[in-house]
Amino acid sequence: MKRFEHLNTQLVKAVIPNPGKRDLLPQLSAKAQVALMCRMCFREGWNDHIAGHITMRQDDGSILTNPWELAWDELTAGDIVTISAQGEVLDSDWNVTPAIGLHLQLHALRPDINVVMHNHPEWSGKWACMGRVPGIYDQSSAYVAGELPLFDEYEGTFDDDDRTLAAAKALGDAKWALLLNHGSLVVGKHLRQAHLRVCTLEWRSRRAYEVELAGGGKLLPDASIPDVSRADDNGFPFLWEAMARREIRNDPDVLSE
């Protein structure tokens, strides 16, 4: 508690569900949580300069997103943009990515998800460029189970409505996807779940790349995966909060609005 004496320390109850006694954070607005998510995922390897977008749907149907002009590791809560379900900027002078259509279409098609994330990550991006799906070699690669689709219809940037609609429909009810010659896509019902999926995808991709580079190894048995992947139901316990605290310690200005 002492580390946050200068802040109004409360449990997060809004976007991050089911707080427990140990996951204490300063009171966070929805915009602060999105800014922290950008910083946290940048550290995981979703760090292609100013590329990439996160959207989070709110209860009133509006959507929070990062602005086009800023890198994920410099964003603060005050930079996060509110847009309508149709993509109209409601409260900022910043611009949003021309590729926002993919997110808007996914939000419209998938009422079960409130968070959509896309970037050109360091590790899963390698597998997207190879046109292959990384195997599961260890426990940390298995926190999220289910199909990892490889979407292979990429013909340019995602700023065309027909192309993004095809990609959104191709995702179906999957939790994530690799976009051939492009990058990665992750969705989730809330930030905690989406964060675990980003972390798992990057760990799995890195570990598989390292194992194959070293000559190969034994895949984790399929029977072991269901028990491990139960963490995906609500995100790994306390992980989001721990990584958020790290970003706040590193730069308290991330919360500035």
| pLDDT for position 11 | 33
Number of H helices, E strands in the chain: 7, 9
Q: How confident is the model at residue 170 (pLDDT cuts 50, 70, 90)?
A: confident
2-39 pLDDT, tens digit per residue, is: 333 333 333 344 344 554 555 578 889 999 999 999 99
187-245: pLDDT as tens digits: 999 999 999 999 999 999 999 999 999 999 999 999 999 999 999 988 888 999 999 99
Tell me what pLDDT residue 216 has. Answer: 95
0.85 exceeded by the pTM? yes
| pLDDT exceeds cutoff 60 at 246 | yes
Query: For residues 117 and 185, is the Cβ–Cβ distance under 8 A?
Result: yes
* CATH number 1.10.275.10 given to 34-237: no
- Could you tell me the pLDDT band of residue 151, with boundaries at 50, 70 and 90? confident
Average pLDDT over residues 70-77: 98
- Tell me what the mean pLDDT of segment 161-167 comes to: 68
Q: Domain-by-domain residue ranges, the chain?
A: 34-237
Question: Do the Cβ atoms of 97 and 68 come closer than 8 Å?
Answer: yes
- Chain mean pLDDT for the chain: 88
User: What strand order describes the sheet that includes 53-57?
Assistant: 81-83, 63-65, 53-57, 115-119, 183-188, 176-179, 150-151
Segment 117-139 mean pLDDT? 97
Q: Greater confidence, 101 or 37?
A: 37
d(CA 132, CA 140): 19
Mode of pairing for the β-strands spanning 53-57 and 115-119: antiparallel
Residue 3: what pLDDT? 36
For residue 191, give the DSSP letter. Answer: H
Residue 162 has a pLDDT of 65
CA nearest 124: which of 218, 48, 38?
48
